[in-house]
Amino acid sequence: MQKQDKITIIVPCYNEQETVPIFIEAMDRVYEKMKREYGVVMEYLFIDDGSRDKTLQILKESAEKYAHVSFLSFSRNFGKEAAMFAGLEHADGDYVVIIDVDLQDPPELVEEMYTTILNSEYDCVASRRVDRTGESKIRSFFAHSFYKIIRKISHTDIVDGARDFRMMTRQMVDAIVSLREYNRFSKGIFQWVGFQTKWLEFENRNRVAGNTKWSFWGLLLYAIDGIIAFSTAPLLLSSMVGIIFCVIALIMVVVFFVRALIWGDPVSGWPSLVCIICLIAGIQLMCNGITGLYVSKTYSEVKRRPQYIVKTYRPSRDQMKALSENEQKD
């Protein structure tokens, strides 16, 4: 008998009690079709990222009800990056998909992702949204600017509008899991590990229920994290600014010295002096801050704390059955 391909679907969830049942229903429709047409098996691996609502309870009930549902629950909220990493570490499928639970990532695309990987040399089929409908103009502006800047300074091709929604081969998942850094910026890591990625484009959709977990401030911090994780250009920039100001100061010393020799030294111009002192002090603090950001990231890396702490892990019934069958064979 031909080996069945197993696809693990990783679904990070944080306070998603409304969306989990809707997601399972929508994903099941895709699974039914793919099981019929390609004979694949799927496992949904939900990561409960320390939800405070009934998400965990709903996941427990779903794992009881459906043989292909498993879940992993964190001891607190560790963030989506940690949730995706935990999913990748626990996924045992031949192909692995990461998808949001709010149906902003269309589950129907999973079929196209699978057939593309199967019939081509691609190792990853990722998705990007081609528009940002429903998002405020100012947010889109900042998002586009972020991608422009990070592409220029990071030497990593981080694609504008790229979602975390993608299917990867086992080989690529193993490569991603082998990067053990604490400050993870997956959009960069997916590109950094290399392999061939095909991009599928789709139009933006709104969440089916619940609210986004991202505030403008949260996104800004995420963007700064991304830049720090993938580029040291800000350090170079702060050194350059320092050098430029040193040169300006030297020129000024010479100019004022010569001027004092020729015309004497009238005491005036203190307001401009105060402005210059403030400006230089500001730039110094900013440059110190930039260095500090890198030092703080290094600090959190050297502490080597785990990305996440698991409170409960419940493999799916299908998985346990497969395990016991394997043991019997052995």
Choose from Mg ion, ligand UDP, none: what does 72 bind? Cβ within 5-8 Å by kind: none
- Reading the block at residue 325, the tokens are 């069958």
Instruction: Give least dist CB 16 to ligand UDP, A.
Output: 5
Q: Which DSSP helix (H) or strand (E) runs through 12? A: strand 6-13
Q: Could you write out the DSSP letters of every residue in 206-256?
A: --SSS--S--HHHHHHHHHHHHHHH--HHHHHHHHHHHHHHHHHHHHHHHH
Cβ atoms of 122 and 196 within 8 Å: the answer is: yes
Closer to ligand UDP at the Cβ: 16 or 43? 16
177: phi then psi, degrees, rounded to nearest 5 = -70, -25
Stretch that binds Mg ion, among 2-10, 45-53, 98-106, 268-276 (CB under 5 A): 98-106
Footprint of ligand UDP on this chain (CB under 6 A)? 12-14, 16, 49, 77, 79-80, 83, 100-102, 104, 207, 212-214
Residue 78: CB minimum distance to ligand UDP, A: 7
Query: For ligand UDP, which is the closer residue by CB, 11 or 287?
Result: 11
Binding-site partner at residue 90 among Mg ion, ligand UDP, none, CB < 5 to 8 Å by type: none
* Under rule CB under 5 A, residue 102 binds Mg ion: yes
Residue 143 or residue 153: which is nearer to Mg ion going by CB?
143
Using rule CB under 5 A, residue 104 touches Mg ion: yes
CB of 22 to Mg ion, least distance (A): 13
3-state secondary structure of 313: strand
How many of the other CB atoms lie within 10 Å of CB of 95? 25
Of 207 and 317, the one with the shorter C-beta distance to Mg ion is: 207
Q: Which does residue 79 bind out of Mg ion, ligand UDP, none, counting CB within 5 to 8 angstroms by kind?
A: ligand UDP
Rounded least distance, CB 136 to ligand UDP, Å: 12
How does DSSP assign 85-154, residue by residue? Answer: HHHHHH--SSEEEE--TTSSS-TTHHHHHHHHHHTSS-SEEEEEES--TTS-HHHHHHHHHHHHHHHHHH
Which is closer to ligand UDP, CB of 16 or CB of 123?
A: 16
Confirm if 160 and 126 have CB atoms less than 8 A apart. Answer: no
Beta bridge partners of residue 313, listed in sequence order:
72
Of 214 and 294, the one with the shorter C-beta distance to ligand UDP is 214
Report how far residue 40's alpha carbon sits from residue 215's, in angstroms, rounded to the nearest whole number: 38
Closest contact distance (angstroms) between CB of 212 and Mg ion is 6
Q: CA dist 101 to 18, 59, 141, 216, 239, Å?
A: 10, 12, 26, 21, 44
Q: Is residue 127 close enough to count as binding Mg ion by CB under 5 A?
A: no
Q: How far is the CB of 308 from ligand UDP (least distance, A)?
A: 11
- 3-class secondary structure, 312: strand
77 binding partner (options ligand UDP, Mg ion, none; Cβ < 5 to 8 Å by kind): ligand UDP
C-beta of 102 vs 164, nearer to Mg ion: 102
The entry of Mg ion, ligand UDP, none near residue 214 (CB within 5 to 8 angstroms by kind) is ligand UDP
Judged by the rule CB under 5 A, the positions of this chain that interact with Mg ion are 100, 102, 104
